[in-house]
Structure 1
Amino acid sequence: MTNQQITIATTIAAPIERVWEAYTTPGDITRWNFASDDWCCPSAEVDLKVGGGYKARMEAKDGSFGFDFEAVYEEVEPYKAIAFAMSDGRKARTTFEAAGKGTKVTTIFDAETQNSIDMQRDGWQAILDNFGRYVESSAGHEQLQGGR
């Protein structure tokens, strides 16, 4: 296993509370947790506590490939940070910080050795960008509906 880490980030035009909620709620996760439109996340499970599990099913929409992304939470600091250990032992940590009227989300994760660093960065960044688009569109919808 490599010790190399990869950093991805995005700034989302939504309050930190909504960003956190969308990042940690299974119903939201299934709506954003994929890198491209030909993939989907049909299910997600979250036990949001240290020692709790995370599981997201990732599938190609054409049924050609799928896998379960599984991890165990090692840090849960509401509205600030989440860290987990993946099933292969690699770790990832995501932080949430106010950035003007929005929220900056940064993830640092251990690289794996099967795919290039660029491919891993691009894939994780695409998912994070999809997350940002989802939150911004759903946050705007909620504001039109009078909030939650």
Structure 2
Amino acid sequence: MTTTPLLSFDLERTYPAPPERVWAAWTRADLLRRWLCPDPDWLVSDCEVDPRAGGGYRARFGPRPAGDAYAESATFAVFEPVRRLVLDVLTSGEGMAETSRCTVLLLPADGGTRLELTVEGLSGAEAAEGMRTGWQWCLEGIAEHLGDAA
């Protein structure tokens, strides 16, 4: 039996903000909804966060005007405030359902925070490329949010 390899990728981004602000962007619904949408022309129509180990977030996002083409739910498998999150994520909608494990590390950097993101357990190359693009948009969205909040 042949199986599809599970794929992963790493991204990183440095923000000119302290780790506490970057952490809040991941763990507060009012902030998460500002950047979670992986396309700048889409919107997050619903978002809730339970910020604790075993908690997580749930969101709906997609094209305007409804913003409900996709659903994403994540469980915080590891919740180490202002340092590390490990999320088990299910993204579904428009004929797709993809699970992944995302590890977010926040590291103090000169005058800010370096975020290191690892996404693992993707089902194939197409899923990995789509998720990579989406996460790149999300990391840019965090930068825009942090700039707006400055």
Q: Smaller-chain TM-score range?
A: 0.7 to 0.9
Paired residue for 1:82, among 79, 82, 85?
85
- Show the 5 A alignment for 1:1-148: 2-63=5-66, 66-87=69-90, 89-110=99-120, 111-113=122-124, 115-138=126-149, 140=150
Q: Which has the higher strand share?
A: 2
Matched with 1:146 is none
> Shift in Å at residue 43 of structure 1?
1.9
User: CA 1:34/1:16 → structure 2, altered by over 3 Å: closer, same or farther?
Assistant: same
> Root-mean-square deviation (CA), in Å?
2.0
TM-score, structure 1 as length reference: 0.83
- In structure 2, stretches of 5+ residues that fail to align are 91-97
Structure 2 SS opposite 1:50: coil
User: CA 1:113/1:7 → structure 2, altered by over 3 Å: closer, same or farther?
Assistant: same
- In structure 1, stretches of 5+ residues that fail to align are 141-148
> Shift in Å at residue 116 of structure 1?
4.8
Which letter does structure 1 place at the counterpart of 2:117?
Answer: T
> Shift in Å at residue 75 of structure 1?
0.1
> Shift in Å at residue 100 of structure 1?
0.3
Q: Deviations over 1:31-56 (max 9, x none)?
A: 12123331111221111222213211
> Shift in Å at residue 85 of structure 1?
1.1
> Shift in Å at residue 2 of structure 1?
3.5
> Shift in Å at residue 22 of structure 1?
1.8
TM-score, structure 2 as length reference: 0.82
Contact 2:14 2:115 in 1 (8 A): yes
Contact 1:40 1:58 in 2 (8 A): yes
Return the alpha-carbon distance in structure 2 between the equivalents of residues 85 and 52 of structure 1.
11
Structure 1 SS opposite 2:143: helix
Contact 2:58 2:71 in 1 (8 A): yes
> Shift in Å at residue 117 of structure 1?
3.2
What is the aligned residue count?
139
State percent identity of aligned pairs: 24
